[in-house]
């Protein structure tokens, strides 16, 4: 997991380029421009898909963790705040089978301590395939509305 506000990455060169492409695209747009994007998916480069979202935060107890096998997730908060959590693969029991069509598997809460970071305006967290992660967590026990995007970075390299 990575948490930051623009930084250098250490990963496969092609994957690194995809991550940087996404971050550069986001940095080149104002918050108003990002909020004007329609909810839904938008491919900006090979292996880089933006998924614009609008949702309410929720209680941690109701959240499942998830992981992906062929994608890195960049959770990028456009406007709002939420807790994101992560744990190592193998620390939680699966609650679903892996779905290759959606490219996701869900897990219960980790049995060991997990990481937690507050994601706020124009900040991101990067979750790699080995990271179980849960997002959309309420802040200060209050439901709030967020505009966020999840960037899907393909880990498939030709």
Give the pLDDT confidence of 84-117 residue by residue, as tens digits.
999 998 999 999 999 999 999 999 999 999 999 9
Cβ atoms of 4 and 138 closer than 8 Å:
no
CATH assignment at residue 100:
2.60.120.370
Q: Convert 77-110 into a string of H (helix), E (strand) and C (coil).
A: EEECEEEEEEEECCCCCECCCCECCCCEEEECCC
- Asked if the model's pLDDT at residue 24 lies above 70, the reply is yes
The average pLDDT across 35-60 equals 98
Give residue 106's domain range: 2-154
Distance separating alpha carbons of residues 150 and 158, to the nearest angstrom:
23
Query: How many folded domains does the chain comprise?
Result: 1
> How far is the C-alpha of 141 from the C-alpha of 131, rounded, in Å?
25
Reduced to 3 states (helix: H, G, I; strand: E, B; else coil), residue 35 is helix
Q: How far, in Å, CA of 4 to CA of 119, rounded?
A: 9
Instruction: Kindly state the helix (H) or strand (E) to which residue 149 belongs, with its residue range.
Output: strand 145-154
Question: If you average pLDDT over residues 150-154, what whole number do you get?
Answer: 97
Asked whether the predicted pLDDT for residue 127 surpasses 90, the reply is yes
Q: What is the pTM of this model?
A: 0.90
């Amino acid at each position: 997991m990575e948490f930051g506000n623009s930084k250098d990455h250490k990963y496969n060169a092609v994957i690194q380029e995809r991550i940087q492409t996404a971050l550069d695209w986001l940095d080149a747009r104002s918050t108003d421009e990002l909020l004007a994007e329609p909810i839904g998916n938008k491919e900006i480069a090979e292996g880089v898909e933006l998924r614009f979202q609008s949702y309410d935060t929720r209680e941690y107890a109701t959240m499942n963790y998830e992981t992906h096998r062929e994608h890195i997730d960049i959770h990028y908060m456009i406007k709002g705040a939420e807790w994101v959590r992560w744990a190592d693969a193998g620390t939680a029991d699966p609650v679903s089978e892996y779905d290759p069509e959606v490219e996701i598997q869900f897990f219960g809460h980790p049995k060991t301590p997990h990481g937690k970071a507050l994601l706020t305006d124009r900040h991101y967290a990067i979750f790699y395939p080995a990271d179980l992660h849960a997002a959309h967590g309420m802040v200060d026990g209050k439901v709030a509305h967020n505009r966020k995007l999840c960037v899907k970075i393909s880990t498939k390299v030709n």
